[in-house]
Amino acid sequence: MRRSILSNLSRSSSFTPRSFNSINCQTLSHRRSPILGPGRHRTLSQTSTMFKVGDDFEKIQASRPDFKHDVPVTFSKPPNPEWKQGDGANDGGESLKKDHVEIDPHEDGRPVAFNYKLLISGMVPRPIALVSTKSKDGKTTNLAPFSYSQVINHDPPLFVVGFAGSFDKAKDTLKNLSETEECVINIISEHFVEAANATAINAPYGVSEWDVSGLTQAPSSIVQPARVKESVLSIEAKLVETKEFESRTTPGKKTGVLAIVEGVRFWVRDDAINEEKNLVDLKVLKPISRLGGISYGRTTDALEIPRPQF
């Protein structure tokens, strides 16, 4: 039976650089869509054109250095190892000299896609759940990445996945998940980032992204969908609850669905887990995160700061 974790949740829910400069903004085509005049609002599900790379993308990509395969995970000291309570920022007050731009997400004429672009470029890095599901009749399989994803509790182990669009026009993953109440969340590592990205293809329902990606199905224990064998960490999960959200700019229109799933089995590659089975080795996991636009991030630089005690 689905528990009502969300019952108290509120129902709410021409690119001109200012001093802004980032790789994803250089490489993506940011030409204004002719269908979007002032006041015309584009929903998140209509954002696929935003991922169209510019004509010069191949040239830009070719000019970049090769991927460094053997970058070790290194731990450095924190920026200010001498920091004491009350010291504040470690930049000598530099950040206090900067001003902020106030943005009303629903201000007149602001396309909703602008909020999407702002949020996915600013709320970074995000873990990516590569979600494996199966159709209700068991005949078709599905695999797709979702970066509106996170672990939100450990007892029980709970995870969220956010789907753009409504139940009416559900993405294949959401359709399968809501009908079967099962999925496997696979964490993406550097060694299969291209294949994982390929699973985002907008294939029609019933067409398996496993084939497109070349990834390998491994049997799950508790749930029907397969886990990704290449994945260092996979989580078999069962649906706890879903909640559909409504647009603010187009009242009445359903534009997003949140799914909460409970992890019922963990799979960790044996060279990545310690003796006690309670730590995943970052050096083996080499997780890939989602940044803005079509950018992905690596996690190779880390630092440790002891937790404060009162």
Ligand X SMILES: Cc1cc2nc3c(=O)[nH]c(=O)nc-3n(C[C@H](O)[C@H](O)[C@H](O)COP(=O)(O)O)c2cc1C
Residues at the site binding ligand X, with contacts judged by CB under 6 A: 128, 142, 144-148, 162-164, 171-173, 197, 200, 202, 290
CB of 190 to ligand X, least distance (A): 14
Q: Which is nearer to ligand X, 193 or 218 (CB)?
A: 193
CB of 156 to ligand X, least distance (A): 22
CB of 201 to ligand X, least distance (A): 6
Q: Which is nearer to ligand X, 50 or 273 (CB)?
A: 50
Q: Which is nearer to ligand X, 207 or 264 (CB)?
A: 207
Alpha carbon distance 28, 42 (integer Å): 18
CB of 295 to ligand X, least distance (A): 10
CB of 58 to ligand X, least distance (A): 19
How many other C-beta atoms are found inside a 10 Å radius of the C-beta of residue 216? 14
Strands 301-303 and 74-76: parallel
CB of 10 to ligand X, least distance (A): 21
Distance from the first to the final alpha carbon of the chain: 41
Burial class for 36, CB neighbours closer than 10 Å (0-12, 13-18, 19+): middle
CB of 142 to ligand X, least distance (A): 5
Q: Which is nearer to ligand X, 134 or 290 (CB)?
A: 290
CA quadruple 45, 52, 23, 284: dihedral positive or negative?
A: positive
> Considering all CA atoms of the chain, what is the largest pairwise distance in Å, rounded to the nearest integer?
61
- What is the CB-side half-sphere exposure of residue 219 using CA atoms within 13 A? 2
C-alpha closest to that of 113 among 28, 48, 172: 48
Q: Which is nearer to ligand X, 259 or 273 (CB)?
A: 259
Q: Which is nearer to ligand X, 54 or 162 (CB)?
A: 162
Q: What does DSSP assign to residue 35? A: T
E strand intervals along the chain:
74-76, 126-127, 129-134, 141-146, 149-154, 157-164, 182-187, 217-218, 227-228, 233-246, 254-268, 288-290, 296-298, 301-303
Q: Which is nearer to ligand X, 142 or 220 (CB)?
A: 142
